[in-house]
Amino acid sequence: MEINIPTYVSSVVEKLEAAGFEAYIVGGCVRDALLLKTPYDYDVTTSAVPHEVKTALDSYKIIETGIKHGTVTVWSEGNPIEITTYRCDGEYTDHRRPDSVKLTDKLSDDLCRRDFTVNAMAYSEKRGLVDLFGGKIDLENRIIRCVGDAEKRFEEDALRIMRGLRFAATLDFEIEEATALAIKNKCHLLDFVSAERIAVELTKLLCGKAAAKILTEYSYVICHIIPELKAAIGLDQKNPHHIYDVYTHTVKVIDATPPVPALRFAALFHDIAKPKMMTIDQKGVGHFYGHPKESAIMAKDIMRRLKIDNKTIDKVCRLVKLHDVRPEANRRALKKYLAKYPDVDTDEIMAIRRADLAAQNPIYHHQFSYLDESERIINEIKKAGCCLTVSALTVNGHDIAELGAKGKQIGDILNKLLCDVVEDKIANEKNALIKRAKQLIK
Ligand code: ATP
Ligand code: MG
């Protein structure tokens, strides 16, 4: 079995070998190469200690990125390669990081500190594949399995729980039985992991092709991170539009949404306030009035807690808030809608609305034709370059001030003019708008 290593990496490995050290590519890049995927970065593990790496690679630009852990970053043909000395981890007392690390000269020490068998393989052109824990067979059988005793490994570093779920979701692998049981038993240790690291893994998990399966099988892990989701599990919506409980519906919406972080988060949160907002009418039908707005408030809270960036938070909240706004599928109503929500990306909101509908009772799936028609008209409106914002009017604040309007009145008049233009009551043409503005000032 041979792995094709790009020359910018193999040249570095060869230089270390020529200087008398062992060097291998290791971890994610070996896993991805064996899966016939192009690795997006390469890690190298070596018997050379950092100052020996620096001497052996003295013609390269080298940055001491983690010297305490034996890591340097080498720039080769413009690409960074992390080179880490074989190491074993000392004791773990904070359920996240080893208290100390010890550099060693044995590759086997280095491989057994790694999280999963599929991530614990090393390869070199000279020495071939080193696979001490059956990683290749697990890759072939599509299995995520801890290296060594799963409970112990999650106790050492609880982030591995999220990494395990993330790999299972992105690769569409099964989690092996003992590893799955250990996830269950050690899930509470996620409290020791920083919000940022959890958020990184959760984002990748949500965008994985098997996200739905993992979110379903490991709902208790997701609810440990986001306890607000607990009430959605098993909640019967008592509404003809819905044949699934809120959590199952949510997972199905995620599955039907393009694998883009903001969209998948919007899907995750779109109905999170439903349990809180549920009312049941006299006929026993469930309603959720006001849930989009409340879901957006909860989503903001949760995403802030997870330290997700503000741009993503804003986008997700906008989508959640608007996911249930249903303008009629005609030009006038859609122009009003676009003018009212100028910040919303229509492709994104349509993607969420489609996914939401796909996860509802199939007897309502005829509404896809309404969404198709809405999308067609929206594209037409955009293509025609219709005026949808005050700044696109052919008059501005100065023009209105010259007519004698002052202060707030100027803005009010511009907004009224925009409404008239959007509703096709008047053309976006300067003379006509000035005439109308004069009437409004009187
Ligand atoms: P990705 O495709 O996301 O880069 P990766 O497996 O390469 O996946 P990295 O975070 O880049 O993940 O880590 C590189 C390697 O380091 C892993 O393959 C694994 O061998 C090891 N590793 C990373 N994080 C941990 C951890 N928390 N515990 C044990 N080993 C880890
Ligand atoms: Mg990696």
Q: Which ligand is nearest to the CA of 27?
A: 1
Q: How many independent structural domains does the chain possess?
A: 4
Which of 7, 3, 81 has its CA nearest to residue 37? Answer: 3
Segment 4-28 mean pLDDT = 97
- Residue to mutate, 44, 119, 173, ligand 1, most ligand atoms under 8 Å from C-beta: 119
* pLDDT tens per residue across span 237-255: 999 999 999 999 999 999 9
Residue 392 makes CB contacts below 8 A (sequence gap 6+) with 428
Token pair in block for residue 428: 């976006």
Q: Tell me the C-alpha distance between 368 and 46, whole Å.
A: 56
Which of 397, 394, 392, 388 has its CA nearest to residue 422? Answer: 388
Segment 35-58 mean pLDDT = 96
* pLDDT tens per residue across span 354-378: 999 999 999 999 999 999 999 999 9
Q: What is the DSSP string of 367-388?
A: GHHHHHHHHHHHHHHHHTT---
176 occurs within a structural domain:
yes
- Residue 309, burial from CB neighbour count under 10 angstroms (0-12, 13-18, 19+): exposed
Based on the fold, state whether residues 262 and 146 are members of the same structural domain.
no
Q: Which ligand is nearest to the CA of 203?
A: 1
Residue 116, beta-bridge partner list: 146
pLDDT at site 82: 97
Q: Tell me the C-alpha distance between 142 and 172, whole Å.
A: 7
Q: Which ligand is nearest to the CA of 30?
A: 1
Based on the fold, state whether residues 349 and 245 are members of the same structural domain.
yes
Based on the fold, state whether residues 244 and 352 are members of the same structural domain.
yes
| Ligand 2 centroid, distance to 93 Cα (angstroms) | 25
Which of 372, 373, 311 has its CA nearest to residue 343? Answer: 311
Q: What percent of the chain has pLDDT over 90?
A: 96
| Ligand 1 centroid, distance to 112 Cα (angstroms) | 13
Output the residue whose Cα is nearest ligand 1's atom 4.
28
Q: Which ligand is nearest to the CA of 44?
A: 1
| Ligand 2 centroid, distance to 303 Cα (angstroms) | 25
266 occurs within a structural domain:
yes
| Ligand 1 centroid, distance to 393 Cα (angstroms) | 54
Based on the fold, state whether residues 270 and 168 are members of the same structural domain.
no
Predicted confidence (pLDDT) at residue 67 exceeds the cutoff of 90: no
* pLDDT tens per residue across span 113-152: 999 999 999 999 999 999 999 999 999 999 999 999 999 9
| Ligand 1 centroid, distance to 119 Cα (angstroms) | 7
Ligand 1 atom, smallest distance to 41 CA: 4
Based on the fold, state whether residues 191 and 275 are members of the same structural domain.
no
SS3 279: strand
What are the start-end ranges of the H helices in 207-287?
211-217, 219-225, 246-256, 261-269, 274-277
Pocket of ligand 1 (CB under 6 A): 27-28, 43, 114-115, 119-120, 157, 159-160, 163
76 occurs within a structural domain:
yes
Segment 42-61 mean pLDDT = 97
Q: Is residue 371 a contact partner of residue 357, using CB atoms and an 8 Å limit?
A: yes
31 occurs within a structural domain:
yes
Q: Tell me the C-alpha distance between 324 and 356, whole Å.
A: 9
What element of type H or E holds 128? strand 128-130
Q: What percent of the chain has pLDDT over 70?
A: 100
Predicted confidence (pLDDT) at residue 209 exceeds the cutoff of 90: yes
Q: Is residue 248 a contact partner of residue 240, using CB atoms and an 8 Å limit?
A: no
363 occurs within a structural domain:
yes
Ligand 1 atom, smallest distance to 43 CA: 14
pLDDT at site 442: 79
pLDDT at site 136: 98
The dihedral over CA atoms of 77, 80, 85, 86, expressed in degrees to the nearest 10, equals -100
| Ligand 1 centroid, distance to 28 Cα (angstroms) | 6
Residue 102, beta-bridge partner list: 88
Q: Which ligand is nearest to the CA of 122?
A: 1
| Ligand 1 centroid, distance to 429 Cα (angstroms) | 60
* pLDDT tens per residue across span 166-208: 999 999 999 999 999 999 999 999 999 999 999 999 999 999 9
Segment 303-319 mean pLDDT = 98
Which of 255, 289, 258, 276 has its CA nearest to residue 359? Answer: 255
Ligand 1 atom, smallest distance to 39 CA: 2
Predicted confidence (pLDDT) at residue 68 exceeds the cutoff of 90: no
Rounded mean pLDDT of the chain? 96
| Ligand 1 centroid, distance to 120 Cα (angstroms) | 9
Predicted TM-score (pTM) of the model is: 0.95
Based on the fold, state whether residues 306 and 287 are members of the same structural domain.
yes
Output the residue whose Cα is nearest ligand 1's atom 3.
28
Which of 243, 216, 247 has its CA nearest to residue 230? Answer: 247
How many CB atoms are closer than 10 A to CB 91?
8
- DSSP 8-class letter at 19: T
Predicted confidence (pLDDT) at residue 258 exceeds the cutoff of 80: yes
Residue 158, domain CATH: 1.10.110.30
| Ligand 2 centroid, distance to 31 Cα (angstroms) | 10
Ligand 1 atom, smallest distance to 157 CA: 27
Residue 266, domain CATH: 1.10.3210
What is the 3-state composition of the chain as percent helix, strand, coil, each rounded to the nearest 5?
Answer: 55, 10, 35
Based on the fold, state whether residues 135 and 180 are members of the same structural domain.
no
Single residue among 225, 256, 272 that ends a domain in this structure:
225
Residue 27, domain CATH: 3.30.460.10
Predicted confidence (pLDDT) at residue 1 exceeds the cutoff of 80: no
Token pair in block for residue 432: 């006509």
How many CB atoms are closer than 10 A to CB 337?
22
378 occurs within a structural domain:
no
Based on the fold, state whether residues 334 and 215 are members of the same structural domain.
no
231 occurs within a structural domain:
no
| Ligand 1 centroid, distance to 27 Cα (angstroms) | 6
Based on the fold, state whether residues 146 and 133 are members of the same structural domain.
no
| Ligand 2 centroid, distance to 41 Cα (angstroms) | 6
Written as one letter, the residue type at 201 is E
What element of type H or E holds 81? strand 79-85
Based on the fold, state whether residues 320 and 426 are members of the same structural domain.
no
- Residue to mutate, 114, 132, 162, 186, ligand 1, most ligand atoms under 8 Å from C-beta: 114
Single residue among 79, 107, 139 that ends a domain in this structure:
139
Q: Is residue 15 a contact partner of residue 126, using CB atoms and an 8 Å limit?
A: no
Ligand 1 atom, smallest distance to 156 CA: 28
pLDDT at site 182: 98
Which residues span the domain enclosing 192?
142-225
55 occurs within a structural domain:
yes
Based on the fold, state whether residues 342 and 265 are members of the same structural domain.
yes
* pLDDT tens per residue across span 78-87: 999 999 999 9
Single residue among 370, 401, 418 that ends a domain in this structure:
370
Output the residue whose Cα is nearest ligand 1's atom 17.
27
Q: Which ligand is nearest to the CA of 115?
A: 1
Output the residue whose Cα is nearest ligand 1's atom 10.
28
Handedness of CA 207, 210, 213, 218 (dihedral sign): negative
Ligand 1 atom, smallest distance to 29 CA: 7
pLDDT at site 190: 98
Token pair in block for residue 407: 């202060």
Q: Tell me the C-alpha distance between 421 and 324, whole Å.
A: 26
CA angle centred on 351, ends 350 and 357, rounded to 5°: 85
Based on the fold, state whether residues 326 and 350 are members of the same structural domain.
yes
